[in-house]
Amino acid sequence: MNLKIIFVSLLIVSTLSSKAQNENDALRYSQQNMFGTARTSAMGAFGTLGGDFSCLSYNPAGIGMYQFTEITFTPSFVLNNTTSYNNKIILLDDIVYTEQYDEDISDGNIGNIGFVFSNPKYNNEWKRMNFGIGLNQLANYNKNIYINTLNNTSSLADNLLSVAQGKEINELDGFFGSPAFWTDIIDLENNSIDTTLNQYLYDNGNYISHVFSEGLKRQTHQLNSNGNMHEFVLSAGTSYDEKIYLGATVGIVGVEYSEIIKHREDILSDTINNLGSFEYMQNLYASGEGINLKVGGIYRVNENIKIGGALHSPTILTIQEEFRTSTLANFTDTSYRESSLFNFFEYELTTPWKAIASFSATINKNIIISGDYELIDYSTSNLNVRNYRNADGTEIFTEENNTINNIYQKAENIRLGFEMKMEPFSLRAGYTRNSSPLKDNDEPSTENFSFGTGINYGSYYFDLAYILTQGNDKYQMYNEEFINATDLAYTNHNLLITLGFRY
């Protein structure tokens, strides 16, 4: 290993060939599960109801229904649980059984803070011109995943080997192949050394793994992610004769996301060169900002029925990422650790268009039922780097954008809401079904069940909402060429409290 230590100072890091940005990032920042205020969160479907600050990020025509100036503030509290189902192999009787692991993470955040100014127009068919400014939470990225399994068919070392294969030492990428080589997880097939020149005689891109794929090994894998997406909104809306409501919002989106992955393999059978265990660590931090436009309209068919629609432009996000990896290999008599340099990279993501159709009906003046239909085509997401191309002239993200187009599809999301008013109290409930963005999955990706209550004293009000989100997913520890995805089930609990003042 002495020669490897000499070589490390000559390492060339190829950041573009090892970029972390892919279809997973495109989907993460394109999906939203708006929290906003407690009333909207409790009912779920709010596209034609208006008069609530969350509508500025959903159907901005709702701002035209405000008849008073209003201030709202909503703290939110979330508890996310993720269950992984791991196959374990018992070689004595050839039994394969599934064991589950639960991981929780909790957090507090701001669901909403907003101000709406209502400007009545008396003796005019255009009844008012309202303006709004504030913040709505659009997504929460807090998640813990823990996987603990026995494996005798593959290793992460196989994946690292495939990345390195065919490249000479100074051509190894700085995040996967190179750290694996300098910690001796993988090695040259023939590592004979010319001591006079102090170099390898057979630096020809042919490598081997020090881990037997068929050897028994315990794999533990942890992912911890944190972050959220917020939208700062600037909105304006009006009402024509209390029949037609129109509105528009300029949304300035802010994203923050961090992720730590730790993968460990304890070798339970013979290995080359007495390798006892190894670890792979990956750190990712991303932040970004973007802009979008939302327009909407609501039509009051009669005293009891309203219909409406909204169109959201793509959000053009500029994202800055910091990425780093490290490896640790423990041998019988020594250990080796290697860390990559920090990779700083900036790119653009264009999220899909979104279209929303809505209705609501009032029954006996005290019961409201509402429904929203939302259409979003995730296959149109696009990654881009301005004014830069690969050496062969192709766009940087050609492969990733082709993958986005091939695996994602149009998603149809349905929301239903209910509210019963018993002045000054209100009871609310809602249901949301988000269809899967994946072409090969017909099952819903998430379902929300929400409940809430409120007290309205005119000049001030208090709302409370609870949202239960359930869904299933799959998680790929490393390349699907070597291992099947792990099944995940997650259950998220979200509590929101809104305090509002009118004058």
Full DSSP string of 191-257: --EETTTTEETT-SS-EEESS-TTS-EEEEEEEEEEEEEEEEEEEEEEEETTTEEEEEEEEEEEEEE
- Please tell me the chain's helix, strand, coil percentages from 3-state DSSP, rounded to the nearest 5: 15, 60, 30
Give the distance from CA 487 to its chain's centroid.
17
Superfamily of domain 2-502: Outer membrane protein transport protein (OMPP1/FadL/TodX) (2.40.160.60)
Question: What is the reported pTM?
Answer: 0.86
pLDDT of residue 91: 52
The full set of domain ranges for the chain reads 2-502
Distance CA(211)–CA(227), nearest Å, equals 36
Task: Work out the number of other CB atoms within 10 angstroms of the CB of residue 279.
Answer: 19
pLDDT of residue 13: 30
What are the 10-residue block averages of pLDDT along the chain, 503 residues in total? Answer: 36 37 88 86 94 95 95 94 77 62 88 93 83 95 92 93 92 93 91 69 86 91 95 96 96 96 89 86 96 97 96 96 95 92 92 97 95 96 81 77 93 96 95 90 81 94 95 89 91 95 92
pLDDT of residue 391: 60
Closest CA to 102 of 76, 121, 120, 80: 80
Q: Which residue has the tokens 């791991």?
A: 86
Structure tokens at 186: 């993988």
pLDDT of residue 328: 97
pLDDT of residue 433: 93
Angle between helix 398-407 and 23-30 (nearest 10): 60
pLDDT of residue 85: 87
pLDDT of residue 441: 74
pLDDT of residue 88: 64
Q: How far apart are the two ends of the chain, measured CA to CA in Å?
A: 75
